[in-house]
Chains A and B, each alone.
Chain A
Amino acid sequence: MLENNFLRAAGLLLALSPFSAVAAEQSLTVYTYSSFTSEWGPGGQLREAFEAECDCQINYISADDGVSLLNRLRLEGASTQADVIVGLDDALIEEAKQLNLVADHQLDLAELDLKAELDWQDEFFIPFDFGYFAFIFDSEKTQPVSSMQELLASDASVIYQDPRTSTPGQGLLIWMQALYGEEVSQAWQTLSEQTVTVTKGWSEAYSLFLEGEADYVLSYTTSPAYHQVAEDSNRYRAAAFSEGHPRQIEVAAVSPHSDQPELARDFLQFLVSQQAQEILPVTNWMLPVIEDVNLPAAFDELIRPQAVGFTPEEIHQQRQAWIREWRSAVSQ
């Protein structure tokens, strides 16, 4: 009896569970990270806009974040369904190239009108938004510090993300490395004494911060714009550090295993169009990569930091060593 019921239940579940999504014809499969496709992310609006002009169907498949996205592509190899990969960043560019996960985009960069400050030359990846990492604080509770050095000297509590799983975490890794070089271990140890927790992803850290678990959380300079636009509040602000801030450029590319590279290239082109660039800042909360985009006033009040950091090649070569150094230092 028991067994019969078990069997029936298991069979029923088996029949109901969608094990694989069936891909329709003329569909473009876009691999991205999950907050991109969440209900408040840019995924929905971008899909609508692109489908209106391409006569095709966009099918998103999302991984947790940029790093998982890369791991997934690496595991799938040539059997991947991806046509377009959206959401790796400049720190992962080199690794993706070496693993042959991306194809030449064949677009003329000069025609794309990218911002000069990006100085974009890459022939595989197209940037679609960018931002600067920064520590966010609650202006009603915290008197902000003005440099990393001051932060480490204070006894303020901090939440940041694991550099192995999260792009802001990796940003901090680069930041600390750029500022402290040889003495980074010492700096990490100082920071670890102020650390409430190291979370796996950005959203965990940010929610913990909003619940009042820490004075500072690692995020982007654009985060205050979100609170301004969505909640009409200027309570949360980014601390401007005199040493400069690391920059993250989010990029997209065509998969070498795509069977419709034309359509995929159209999508890349679309991502840097005026239309998409107006959607991205207010959904992904990053800065547009082209000039003269219409943005809410809140974006004018954001801090405009100096960029510090390393080239993608340097990051690629050093990343593992940096992570080990971080891991050892903070587990002392």
Chain B
Amino acid sequence: MNGKHESKGRIKPKARRGVKKVSAPELLVEAKSLQIRRGNRQWQQDFNLEAGEVAVVQGPSGCGKTTLLEALAGFVPLEAGELVIAGQSVAAWPVEKRPVSLMFQQQNFFEHLTVMENLQLGFPQARPDAQQLEKLQTAACLLGVEAYLQQKPGSLSGGQRQRLALIRTVLRPQPLVLLDEPFSALDDASRQLAGDWIREEIRSSKRAALLVSHRHEDAERLGDRQLLLS
């Protein structure tokens, strides 16, 4: 579960800064005056993401980072505003229809299925094609978890589970990838490896990612943009 729902008074609009690099600007995600509410806390959010971009969401505990991701994924209703992803206005779409791929802080696996079965569930009809399968394998090798694909998630450590969940979330063929603290259980080396892989994957597939992290260096290293909540 996410524990970030204490409300702290009033709305603080986003801060947007640090555009490092701009290629041919193709707008993939457009959030205009999104009205988000969690409990009796309410705020407004505006941001844009271009294809190939990774944005890092930062802010103190309880400022609504998780809620923002959940709102984008459709778990928290948007009270007002417009959300356009890949040219479609999706603000009113149910979770199952939203073109996003979300990684929760916890509970990313069905514990009774093997890791491989869990990974396959991310693809249409739960049947990844040959190319997607190969990508899964490659990513698992790169992140050092290829040995665990046939095991049940329950037998793995937190870090192994996190890397495997990351692989499915990022490789799912959805335009917008949402990652909630994807590195919290990783050591520094894995963190760097995983971060680079995400960045490369998003850029080459011309999709976009929104990544919540409480570590400043993640924003520095990974983020094409930063989204500061307060």
Judged by CB atoms under 8 Å, the answer to whether A and B touch is no
Residues of A at under 8 Å CB distance from B? none
